[in-house]
Amino acid sequence: MRFETLLIVGGGLIGSSIARAARAKDQCKTIYIADTSEAACKSITELGIADGVADGHADHFAAQADLVILCTPSARLATTAMNLMPSLKAGAVLTDVGSVKGHLVQALAGRLRKDIHFVPGHPIAGTENSGPEAGFAELFEKRWCVLTPPKGTNETAVADLIAFWKGLGSLVEVMDPSRHDMVMATTSHLPHLIAYTLVGTAIDMETVTNKEVVKFSAGGFRDFTRIAASDPVMWRDVFLTNKTATLEMVDRFIEDLTALKRAIRWDDGDMLLDNFAKTRDIRRRILDADKD
Ligand SMILES: NC(=O)c1ccc[n+]([C@@H]2O[C@H](COP(=O)([O-])OP(=O)(O)OC[C@H]3O[C@@H](n4cnc5c(N)ncnc54)[C@H](O)[C@@H]3O)[C@@H](O)[C@H]2O)c1
Ligand SMILES: O=C(O)C(=O)C[C@]1(C(=O)O)C=C[C@@H](O)C=C1
């Protein structure tokens, strides 16, 4: 056990899942959760997933914690870190689970206490649901967690955090924040933007009623609606904080879509076949990787 006392700030889907997993996998002795929402605190207490629950004021828990994990919406991560800074225990590891890394690293650069080890993180695991009730202990099993420690970060702190995430069942990779943001723009942010657009386009169709969209939504459309039901606040924050990489991916997507549009217009079946065969191969490789 690398950390005896854990403080989770923001006990929603991700925070409550970490609490459940840390307890189930015996990764720490004491788990505290702080959340600014009265309803979330009530729910966390009823679920019995923490040894102590605090509303906005988590200073007394922060003073005891060996590991502090910020699990608030992205836009609040930097302010939450700065507010807790004076109360943190010397030598504590401070991390987060935000979906975008570059903006947070920049926002906190040079502002943290020297005796606190800041190791930003991102578990690439989630669902379209939010709140403490949506969490579950198995969420991180065999899912990647990316850590983006700034240069010069204490190596023991990084190793301890890697061990913690592995203890929750995750696979861990260390990466540069800007690389993380580009990879996520490709595999997570663009797909969500496309899903939001696709569902929006379908419900705006004048010739097909919304009732028909709901009634006849078979596999393909239905799959998109799952991620298009993701938390609007979280995804607004993701796009606004990972602007450069997302816009780069949107440009590439528009180019590729235009190429497919052209192939359809000019009956270029070979181009369509070639393209769809490549993407089918990627799908198979992803499923194979899951089996390993
Ligand atoms: N949902 C996903 O699929 C997913 C996956 C990986 C990472 N993330 C990241 O995890 C973070 C949390 O996402 P979530 O899905 O758990 O959201 P959530 O809405 O389920 O939970 C967030 C919780 O934080 C609380 N909160 C808000 N401001 C706070 C503050 N200042 N102090 C303390 N608590 C505060 C809210 O009351 C809420 O209970 C986000 O930064 C998101 O980018 C989400
Ligand atoms: O499966 C889902 O519902 C998710 O959207 C999870 C997902 C992802 O895109 O993979 C979403 C955002 C997070 O930052 C990490 C994971």
- The pLDDT tens digits for 147-184 are 999 999 999 999 999 999 999 999 999 999 999 999 99
Alpha-helical segments (H) within 230-268: 232-241, 243-265
The answer to whether the CB of 37 is under 6 A from ligand 1 is yes
Which residue, 118, 103, 89, 119, is CA-closest to 4? 89
Q: Which ligand is nearest to the CA of 104?
A: 1
Please determine, for residue 103, whether its predicted confidence score (pLDDT) is greater than 90.
yes
The answer to whether the CB of 242 is under 6 A from ligand 1 is no
- The pLDDT tens digits for 10-22 are 999 999 999 999 9
Residues 6+ apart with CB under 8 A from 227: 128, 191, 192, 195
Q: What is the pLDDT of residue 5?
A: 98
State mean pLDDT over 75-92.
96
Domain topology for 5-175:
Rossmann fold (3.40.50)
Give the start-to-end residue ranges of the domains of the chain. 5-175, 179-291
State mean pLDDT over 1-7.
95
Give the residue whose CA is nearest to atom 24 of ligand 1.
Answer: 10
CATH H superfamily, domain 179-291: 6-phosphogluconate dehydrogenase C-terminal like domain (1.10.3660.10)
Residue 57's pLDDT band, with cuts at 50, 70 and 90, is: confident
Q: Is the pTM here over 0.80, yes or no? A: yes
The answer to whether the CB of 228 is under 6 A from ligand 2 is no
Q: Which pair of tokens denotes residue 73?
A: 């919406």
Residue 48's pLDDT band, with cuts at 50, 70 and 90, is: very high
Which residue, 111, 81, 100, 92, is CA-closest to 148? 100
**In the Cβ-directed half-sphere of 98, how many Cα atoms lie within 13 Å?**
30
- The pLDDT tens digits for 211-231 are 777 777 777 888 888 899 999
